[in-house]
Chain A
Amino acid sequence: MRSSDHNGTVLAKSIEEPVEISSVGTTARPGPLTANLIRSIGIIGAVSILPLVMPINIATEILIFGIFAMAANLLIGTAGLYSFGQAAFFGTGGYAAGYLLAHGWTSLPLALVVACGSGGLIAAAVGILSIRRLGIYFMMLTFAFNQLVYYIVYSWRSVTGGEDGLAGIRRPVLELPFVGSFSFDDNRSFYALASVLFLATMIVLVRMVNSPFGLVLAASRQNSRRTVSLGYPVPMLQLVAFVIAGAISGVAGALFAMLYRIMPIDSVHWTGSAYVVFMVVIGGQRNMLGPVIGAAVFIWLQGLFSLVWTRWPLLLGVFVIVIMASLPNGLVGFVSKLSSWTVKGRGQRQC
């Protein structure tokens, strides 16, 4: 009597196969206070040191793609939704904010709210139409919508600049009452802005993954039918996660537009969607640090390989394959496995 099973669950299962450890769990669960403190100091320290060891724009790019990859990991690692259309939301946010900033608007909060809102809105539209499809069908649908958005951007020259990209973007200004106004024309102050948004995103997402919302989302990844039978509206939860990820991707896109003062058409191409999935896979899905490490390694390697060889994507591809084949839990999963060999015993959870 298994005829009642959804035909798609089998596919979804096989895709999830390599993920062995939940993204909900060990790392992010508030354990001893000191461990959390050390972790936070470590991350803040790393963010402060980053621009000292590499060109500052590369460091900024790592933070921007870190934000983008963390948002993608809410879908991949926590919800088990393999979206191959995230670049559409990154691009939407970038173009929307970029358009305002290229046409005389200067307010930072406005640019961010518009990026967030437009990314989330397009994600809601795509999500409503694709969230009930399972496994490979979901992937293909998100991919197709990404292509759709790409061609809209490509053909709507008057607004988007078509294949030349949207140029003439000016960095916004933050006006604070009583304090004065901050400009981000200087790359160091722009890096500071990116770090604040990066850390805020990380805090929000880590908390979200360990909230009832995140735990139920992780439950529906592991067994969606069971989660429904416990009384949860799984498709609605997944849709909300999809919209949240889209909104955050929109913010990342806006920062990217501000960084180089141009929104290139490539940023909304489906390859961007594939890259962010690679970042998550390289770094590891079990916590929010994984995708950030993945983004850093990916961007660093991209730079390195492109200096070595003009056909650098080939090298990058080989690297991704090697990581996927040898480290199913990504770099972060590998490191914590190493440390669990040296430090015996697991932390107790308290829920």
Chain B
Amino acid sequence: MASYVELVEVTKVYQMGEVTINAADGISFEIEKGEFVVIVGPSGAGKTTVLNILGGMDSCTSGQVFVDGVDIARYDETQLTDYRREDVGFVFQFYNLIGNLTALENVELALQICKDPLEAVGIMCEVGLEERLDNFPAQLSGGEQQRVAIARALAKNPKLMLCDEPTGALDYQTGKAILKLLQDMCRTKGMTVVVITHNQALTPMADRVIYLKNGRVEQVSKNPDPESVENIEW
């Protein structure tokens, strides 16, 4: 039985004029369903490339990417779009909310194109924003914005939730709260959450930690007993 998510020898080569950059140089790893995964590595290690490929935003040069048993590496653009729309929830570092939509509407934006969405207001309650439904992103704090973003990602009920430095633009406490939320979602809903970060401190909270370096997987470690976010300091 194959893993829920499996990358097999994924490479990504960018041709920048004369220079060839191997952003991913044969990355392989597996992720089980319902795991909280942290992919960690320094700048230029290939984190974003992995995120792009896993998120269906970019295709790999070679290799295979299985998500729930389907090789998305072979997907064409349309299929990739559908993949993103149905199977992947994104949480960005800068939240990327639509500025002139309210918090609720931002969530609904995602639901609108999704086949099997969750109920928007309910999700907003779950992320603790029941009071801020009709507020515009500009009227929300960073944490609140990120919660909206998480709600937006969750509402789609995706197979995979990809979070790109979700706390990168947040202060310590807020960041912690966001991570807690993510962890809770993972635990309570059995969501597969992949957090991409350069912050080594977050690794204890993950079920599985994938270390990347220079476009390769340096190490994959499994945490049989991950810490709660509250207990992690950085």
Do chains A and B stick together as partners?
no
Interface positions of A (Cβ within 8 A of B): none
Interface positions of B (Cβ within 8 A of A): none
